[in-house]
Amino acid sequence: MASNRWLATGNYFTSYREEQRIFFTSLDRSAMILFIVLCFAWPLLFDVGNKYMLVIDNILLAIIAVIGLNLVTGFAGLISIGHAAFVGIGAYTIASFATVLGDRHIIITHCWPLLILLSGFMGALFGALVGLPAMRLKHLYLAIATLSFQMIFEWVINFMNFFNQGQTIPVGRVYWLTGKVMRNDHYLFWYYVILAIIVVIGFGARNLLRTRYGRCLIAVRDNDRAADAMGMHPGLTKVYAFGLAGFCAGITGALHAYLNRGVGIDSFTLHHSINYLAMAIVGGLGTLHGSFWGPIAIKVLDLQVERFSEWAGSHITAATNLTTALKPLSFGLVIVLFLMFEPRGIANWWRIARSYIKLWPFRY
Amino acid sequence: MKMKTLTRWVVLFTAAALLTFPMQAMGGEVYKLGLSLAITGPTSDAGNPYSKGVEDYFNYVNDMKLLGDDTIDCTIRDDQYKNDVTRRNFEEFLDDGIVFYLNYSTGSTLALKRDFEEEMIPVIPASFHAGNLVDSNYIFLPIASYSAQVIGLAEYIVANHKDGAPKVAMFIHPSAFGRGPVEDVQKAVGAGLDMEIIEVVEHGKDLDNTAMLKRLKSKGVQYVISHTVQSPVATMLKDASSLSLMAGSFGEAGKLTFLGAHYTGGNDLVALAGPSSENFYWTTSYIVTSEPSKGADMQLDLAKKYNRDDKAANSHNYANGMMVAQVATECIKRAKAKGKEITKETLYEELLAMNGDNAFSPGTTVGPVTYSETDKAGVDTLQLYVVKDGQFKSAGEPFVPEYTEKIK
């Protein structure tokens, strides 16, 4: 153990348990607590309006989904191109209740925490089902299996009357201790709910990775035969990884349904699956905090490109084609550049910055 | 001396205050509106001229001082046909304090319906989906619904077909937008419209429709009613033309006669399908610039004033955009004339009062715009057009479909 628990400049672990600590120094712990407190406190001090609150809520939602995707793709090494469909499973769980019971039924409006949890389990169930081929398939073949699920999901929703053929199924406003959450407080209320869930899921995932179940994921990713030889069950581990990813996705979907007060298929398409994958890559596959960086980077990039497109459209004559192409172009370019020059994602920049600060003023 | 200086300052200050006060009072009110639509991305071929129509008309209102010193500030945002972006734009507009909202797609209109109700804000979308009006008080369709248009086409077929009940196929967009009118046409058939629906085809992204057309022909289909966007219709017409299946006149025996609702037609279809678009029948409530009228002149003059190219100037979607801007402006004008403050509530009241002697004729439509508590579709009249020599020409007089009322 370092003599100064606030400013340790090196690793002083004397046991495996110490190495597995969530926070290495007291400074880390305090900074994290302060950061979480600030995340909860800032909306009380600043009013950013509903538009930006909605943007922030959407970033937070993507963070939960990408944590799940990172568990299956980053930590377990299984490519999933159907993550948006798992998010959709969560959303359509809520939508199914709304269709059967009515969107203002007390179960929808009052028992929403239970429904969100149930949606998570539905996502986990479908995740595990889709993960079954992972027991026999690998790499590209597995990716195609997940893609198939995405296609089947879209087809089913688009053609079933029960799901309103993909058009919006409304979801009623929820109640909280203070009464019905009305329009003015809607986005702020869901900001706090999503933030609380992120804190729980974030620490949950961090803890999971410290356990044998978490280490199993990494072992199977690195070499499934070696993992098998060491007594792990690679097949079940893969199914369980998909289940975990499905759980996070299901929770995201349910929150999405409540946040947008409705569910429609256009939020769960293949394009969204690719988007989640891009967020995981840009953030840094196989790192927990990469799941935070990726959604922030991609969503902010999206907004900035949108603004630039608008500007270009209003200043350059016949710029429609250019502006139409700008968003997918910038999106694709960012992924390619990250894959070429920084495959470890933004998380690696964070790691470099941290180690620099840790060693400062020494360079080595 | 000190007193003199002080007096001088007081006089100067008073003069400055007196000068600036009337300037502020004369500055006029600014009424904020918002429009979110697909200027780029899917369906932007319709959204782009639509946005230009809205923008140009509001610029015209401000430049010509149609509201006196008051001006309209309509923020136009591109949502690329994505509902989540539309929601974000709508929230931004609300943060800005809009009094009237113009929306675009069917999907986003349905997704935001509850928000419109809660905000109690009048909304005119570019979508004519009848479902927009279900459980809604604040959505106003600019013209007759898609269902009314398709039923109108079906009525025209039945009225002009010889030899028994016509056999009809429907060629629709694979979405709720496309599927919406199918049920209503089936209801109309159930209510006595004497025709047979042989098949409902949901098109994909096919680049060739030979197999489909041959199948329809083998089933004895005589008419194809399309309810989708222009490009799949253009592909189908080209294939029908190359297979020599295109009817030379309405209902020609042994051939297929093609008809379509609002978003299937217009100059873009002629540009895409070329000579294959000849004898394509199309219905809408808007005027076309290929037929001389006061409204057409107004449309072309406006486009010229704001340096729009020929494509935009002659687009029926430009007329569509102009028309919704005209309705919004008319509401403001009427509320002002009554001495009311311009708010969401007063504009909503003016929309509801737009009927009877108060019906509004914008010139860009073939009939007057009428709204009431029970009628939220603006122009009830439809006009049938047919392509002749590469231009849409009127086929008969404007009409109101009968079966839309019968199936209610």
Mean pLDDT of A308-327: 68
DSSP A226-290: HHHHTT--HHHHHHHHHHHHHHHHHHHHHHHHHHHTEE-GGGSSHHHHHHHHHHHHHH-TT-TTH
Q: Does the pLDDT value for residue A332 go beyond 90?
A: no
pLDDT in tens, B84-121: 999 999 999 999 999 999 999 999 999 999 999 999 99
**Spatial CA neighbour of A149 closest among A257, A246, A24:** A246
| Cβ-proximal residues to B307 (8 Å cutoff; 6+ apart), any chain | none
pLDDT at res. A293: 95
Mean pLDDT of B253-259: 94
**Spatial CA neighbour of B318 closest among B334, B333, B341, B302:** B302
Mean pLDDT of A343-354: 90
pLDDT at res. A334: 87
**Proportion of chain A above pLDDT 90, given as a percent:** 67
Contact B145, B130 (CB under 8 A): yes
DSSP class of residue A172? P
Q: ω before A361 within 30° of 0 (cis)?
A: yes
Q: How far is CA B119 from the centre of its chain?
A: 23
Pairing of strands B281-284, B383-388: antiparallel
Q: What are phi and psi of B396, to 5 degrees?
A: 80, -170
pLDDT at res. A320: 56
pLDDT at res. B199: 95
| Cβ-proximal residues to B82 (8 Å cutoff; 6+ apart), any chain | A266, B41
Q: Does the pLDDT value for residue A321 go beyond 70?
A: no
| Contact between A165 and B175 using a beta-carbon 8 Å cutoff | yes
Topology adopted by domain B30-144+291-375: Rossmann fold (3.40.50)
Q: Does the pLDDT value for residue A284 go beyond 80?
A: yes
Q: Does the pLDDT value for residue B50 go beyond 50?
A: yes
| Contact between A266 and B83 using a beta-carbon 8 Å cutoff | yes
| Contact between B176 and A261 using a beta-carbon 8 Å cutoff | no
Mean pLDDT of A293-314: 86
Q: Where are the domains of chain A?
A: 49-270
| Contact between B110 and A264 using a beta-carbon 8 Å cutoff | yes
How far apart CA B98 and CA B385 sit, in angstroms, is: 37
Q: Could you tell me which residue, B133 or B12, shows the higher pLDDT? A: B133
DSSP B356-406: GGG-B--SSBSS-B---SS--EEE--BEEEEEETTEEEE-S--B--SHHHH
Longest dimension (CA), chain A: 67
Contact B33, B102 (CB under 8 A): yes
Q: Where are the domains of chain B?
A: 30-144+291-375, 146-284+384-406
Which chain A residue lies closest to B174 (C-alpha atoms)?
A158
DSSP class of residue B166? P
Q: How many CA atoms within 13 Å lie on the side-chain side of B405?
A: 6
Per-residue confidence band for A139, with pLDDT thresholds at 50, 70 and 90: confident
- CA dihedral for A9, A13, A18, A21, sign (positive or negative): positive
* Residue bearing tokens 């979607």: B317
| Contact between B80 and A50 using a beta-carbon 8 Å cutoff | no
| Cβ-proximal residues to A302 (8 Å cutoff; 6+ apart), any chain | A327, A331
How far apart CA A116 and CA A193 sit, in angstroms, is: 11
Helix axis angle for B210-218 and B230-242, nearest 10°, is: 70
pTM, 2 dp: 0.87
pLDDT in tens, A188-246: 999 999 999 999 999 999 999 999 999 999 999 999 899 999 999 999 999 999 999 99
Of A51, A264, A320, the CB nearest to B83: A264
Residues of chain B in Cβ contact (below 8 Å) with chain A: 39-41, 44, 48, 77-78, 80, 82-85, 87-88, 91-92, 94-95, 106-107, 110-111, 113-115, 118-119, 131, 174-176, 179
pLDDT at res. B177: 81
Q: How far is CA A52 from CA A22, A283, A303, B77, B95, in A?
A: 32, 22, 11, 16, 10
How far apart CA B302 and CA B59 sit, in angstroms, is: 10
Per-residue confidence band for B24, with pLDDT thresholds at 50, 70 and 90: very low
pLDDT at res. A316: 66
Helix axis angle for B176-190 and B106-119, nearest 10°, is: 90
Q: How far is CA B259 from the centre of its chain?
A: 19
| Contact between A170 and B113 using a beta-carbon 8 Å cutoff | yes
Of B40, B77, B107, the CB nearest to A324: B40
Q: Which two tokens stand for residue B336?
A: 């002002």
How far apart CA A239 and CA A236 sit, in angstroms, is: 5
Count helices and strands (H / E) in chain B: 14, 13
Mean pLDDT of A172-188: 92
Q: What residues in A contact B84, CB-CB < 8 Å?
A: 58, 260, 267
Rounded mean pLDDT of chain B? 91
Paired with B33 in beta bridges are B74, B100
pLDDT at res. A305: 86
Q: Does the pLDDT value for residue B41 go beyond 50?
A: yes
Q: Does the pLDDT value for residue B242 go beyond 60?
A: yes
Q: What residues in A contact B78, CB-CB < 8 Å?
A: 306, 309-310, 313, 323
Topology adopted by domain B146-284+384-406: Rossmann fold (3.40.50)
| Contact between A320 and B44 using a beta-carbon 8 Å cutoff | yes
**Proportion of chain A above pLDDT 70, given as a percent:** 93
Map residue B306 onto helix, strand or coil.
coil
How far apart CA B73 and CA B378 sit, in angstroms, is: 24
Q: Which two tokens stand for residue A286?
A: 């196989």
Per-residue confidence band for B143, with pLDDT thresholds at 50, 70 and 90: very high
Of A54, A262, A310, the CB nearest to B111: A262
Rounded mean pLDDT of chain A? 90
Kind and range of the H or E run holding A26: helix A26-45
Paired with B388 in beta bridges are B391
Determine if residue A231 is left, alpha or beta; phi over 0 gives left, psi from -120 to 50 gives alpha, anything else beta.
left
Q: Could you tell me which residue, B43 or B343, shows the higher pLDDT? A: B343
Q: Could you tell me which residue, B210 or A358, shows the higher pLDDT? A: B210
Distance from CA of B41 to the nearest CA of A (A): 5
Per-residue confidence band for B274, with pLDDT thresholds at 50, 70 and 90: very high
* Residue bearing tokens 């619904």: B145
Mean pLDDT of A42-61: 93
Q: Does the pLDDT value for residue A275 go beyond 50?
A: yes
Q: What residues in A contact B110, CB-CB < 8 Å?
A: 167-168, 264
Taking the alpha carbons at both ends of chain A, their separation in whole angstroms is 21
Q: Does the pLDDT value for residue B123 go beyond 50?
A: yes
Q: Which two tokens stand for residue A208?
A: 């999971």
Per-residue confidence band for A25, with pLDDT thresholds at 50, 70 and 90: confident
pLDDT at res. B23: 46
pLDDT in tens, B386-402: 999 999 999 989 999 99
Residues of chain A in Cβ contact (below 8 Å) with chain B: 49-51, 54-55, 58, 158, 164-168, 170, 183, 187, 260-262, 264, 266-267, 306, 309-310, 313, 320, 323-324, 327
Q: Which two tokens stand for residue B249?
A: 């006149």
DSSP class of residue B247? -
